[in-house]
Amino acid sequence: MESGSFWIVTLLLIAATIFLFFYIWRSLHRARVIEDTPTAKIRSAHQGYVELEGEGELIATLPITAPLSHYQCLWYRFVVERKETRYSSKGNQTHWRKVHDGSCEEPFLLRDETGDCLVDPEGAEVTPTSKDVWYGHSEWPEPGSAPAGGGTQLLGLGKYRYTEERLMPGPVYALGQFKTFNSTGSVRDRTGELLREWKRDQAALLARFDSNNDGEIDVDEWNRARDAAGKEALREQVSRQAEPPTNMLIKTGDRRQPFLVSAFPQTNLASRYRNRARFSLAGTFVALAVLLWMLSVRWV
């Protein structure tokens, strides 16, 4: 092997080994967090990092539809790729180039026997119910072209490849930051919001509070506007006191506390992460063995 190629391969093997060590630690850490965090009930869950299990449901006013398969789901992630061929004197090289991708950031409902909670999947590591791969001839797949039974279309014909993962309604395991928001909010904050809204419509503001008709809002008139906004904000708060607080599960922002959402129960999910660590460890041994063999051949 030429000297330049030897060092390129050596550096790639070293980088692969470092990556695999990191991936082993990451997978084992997630497995330990899942196993060590007790499962809470939504009604009695404390504010902070919690583990929840329940039924994932769509919000009636916020239906979520996967863009490729057009199936209703709780969450999706998709990629559209186009096959491209490069022609050269060394032969033809075919590869897939990504042309579209995206994921769902809309919340869904997680419900157990004690209450319900909104799950905001932004930033979550999602283990989906299904992953479909199929092929077609248009940039966006034709309706009904997704595999009927799900899975991968092995004999794919077409210039485009579609990949879609979905979390479907049903049992859901989630681990993240639990927060409860009161619907009433602060009277002071709402007063400020109302004043800003009124200032955007100067004509209506003048018509309501310009008592001396000079075309301007003076200090006394602004104080009356502030009092009126405060009274309206207070009336809104009183009318909302009967509304229940909103529970949400969101990303923590702490790398030591992963935000996980899964279609599989916690024992299954922890086992998946431990298996990933085992496979990564095997890959590490292979990379190290090849690296040591190359160095021994090079220098012996």
**d(Cα 153, Cα 158) in Å, to the nearest integer?**
12
> Is position 205 within any domain?
yes
Tell me, what's the pLDDT at 161? Answer: 94
Tell me, what's the pLDDT at 82? Answer: 95
**d(Cα 218, Cα 220) in Å, to the nearest integer?**
6
> Is position 130 within any domain?
no
Q: What are the backbone angles phi and psi of residue 37, rounded to the nearest 5°?
A: -90, 120
Asked if 46 and 40 count as a contact pair (C-beta separation under 8 A), the reply is yes
Tell me the two tokens of residue 96: 């897939």
Tell me, what's the pLDDT at 266? Answer: 92
> Is position 201 within any domain?
yes
> Is position 42 within any domain?
no
Task: Please state whether the predicted TM-score (pTM) of the whole model is above 0.95.
Answer: no
**d(Cα 43, Cα 178) in Å, to the nearest integer?**
11
pLDDT in tens, 100-109: 999 998 999 9
Q: What angle do CA 230, 245, 251 make, to 5 degrees?
A: 110
Secondary structure (DSSP) of 40-59: --TTTPPSEEEEEEEEEE-B
pLDDT in tens, 192-226: 888 888 888 888 888 888 888 888 888 888 888 88
Give the β-pairing of 170-181 and 48-57: antiparallel
Tell me, what's the pLDDT at 155? Answer: 66
pLDDT > 70 in the chain, percent: 91
> Is position 231 within any domain?
yes
Domain range enclosing 191 = 187-240
Give the pLDDT mean for 219-244.
77
> Is position 269 within any domain?
no
Asked if 250 and 120 count as a contact pair (C-beta separation under 8 A), the reply is yes
- Looking at the 3D structure of the chain, how many domains does it have? 1
pLDDT in tens, 135-175: 999 999 988 888 876 667 766 678 999 999 999 999 999 99
Tell me, what's the pLDDT at 4? Answer: 67
Q: What are the beta bridge partners of residue 55? A: 111, 171
> Is position 86 within any domain?
no
> Is position 148 within any domain?
no
Q: What are the beta bridge partners of residue 52? A: 174
